[in-house]
Amino acid sequence: MNQLIFGRYFPGDSFIHHLDPRFKLIFALIYVGLLFFLESTFYYLLFFVLTLLLMEQTGVKLAIYVKGVKPLIWLILFAVTLRIMTTSGGDVYLRYGPFAISSFGLTLGLQTFLRFVMIIFISTVLTLTTKPVEITDALYFLLKPLKYIKVPIEDLSLMLSIALRFIPNLLDETDKVMNAQKARGMVFGQGSLINQMKALVPLVLPLFQNSLKRAEDMADVLEVKGYQSNQKRSHYRELKWKKQDVFGSLFLLMLMVVVFVFQQ
């Protein structure tokens, strides 16, 4: 659990740290969307190199990003293996019943692996270089048009801010509870699947209880401060669109042209 870094913010003075959170959120969403429109392995490798360059610009060590992928590596490999075994085409190297390993399946498997890794990396770039409260402000700005159709965007933004804020706390608390249970003789990750599920009960119940207690404390704090979701309020943090955000928007536009024009 302590290897998960999603939702954690790393203070820094990099170029990406100083970008407007609205641009970073839009860039991450469009960048992930573009990955699903890539057709050739060349463009997947091109975007993978670009992702590595963006990660390098954050000033955060590559080992931190790899550490964030490790907890999900088995899920990624399972999806890649399933894609390879169920896709046929090209030269067939091995066949067993309805499953086969072919050149086309291996190509799609590589593309699927790169897509999963890049999605995790670019999402991590966003959370490592942007404070949770800034992500909330950016989301509030993007959802603002929905306010005219009576969508409670203030409540949605508040819930997202609280969720992002407490993800690292929940992970740290999980690690503490697990260590406490291990000190009492509890063994995790051994035995049959049923025994492993039973071993999670002493872990889940304290976390669930602490989460409810934390939510109750948060509700009391909001009530004491007089928070009311239906009241119009100003913002302490003012978001400013700067020159680097304009250049970043032009770069994003260039990527869209590469995917939708030159790739064809």
Q: Answer yes or no: is pLDDT of 249 > 60.
A: yes
* pTM of the model as a whole: 0.76
- Rounded to whole angstroms, how far apart are CA atoms 17 and 125? 10
Across the chain, mean pLDDT equals 82
Most confident of 2-11, 92-101, 117-126, 230-239: 117-126
Joined together, the tokens standing for residue 237 give 């943090």
Least confident of 57-71, 85-99, 109-123, 217-231: 85-99
**Rg of the chain over CA atoms, in angstroms?**
22
Q: Answer yes or no: is pLDDT of 215 > 90.
A: no
Joined together, the tokens standing for residue 4 give 């998960």
The residues with which 100 forms a beta bridge, in sequence order, are 95
Q: Answer yes or no: is pLDDT of 1 > 50.
A: no
Closest CA to 117 of 83, 171, 84, 77: 77
Higher-confidence residue: 224 or 5? Answer: 224
Q: Answer yes or no: is pLDDT of 141 > 90.
A: no
Q: Can you say how many angstroms the Cα of residue 30 is from the centroid of all Cα atoms in its chain?
A: 14
Q: Answer yes or no: is pLDDT of 115 > 90.
A: yes
Q: How confident is the model at residue 147 (pLDDT cuts 50, 70, 90)?
A: confident
Higher-confidence residue: 119 or 202? Answer: 119
> How far lies 3's CA from each of 43, 65, 86, in Å?
30, 10, 32
Q: What is the mean pLDDT of residues 76-95?
A: 80
DSSP state of 174: H
pLDDT of residue 231: 67
Q: What is the mean pLDDT of residues 167-178?
A: 78
E strand or H helix at 116: helix 103-129
Closest CA to 87 of 66, 73, 105, 69: 105
Q: What is the mean pLDDT of residues 144-149?
A: 82
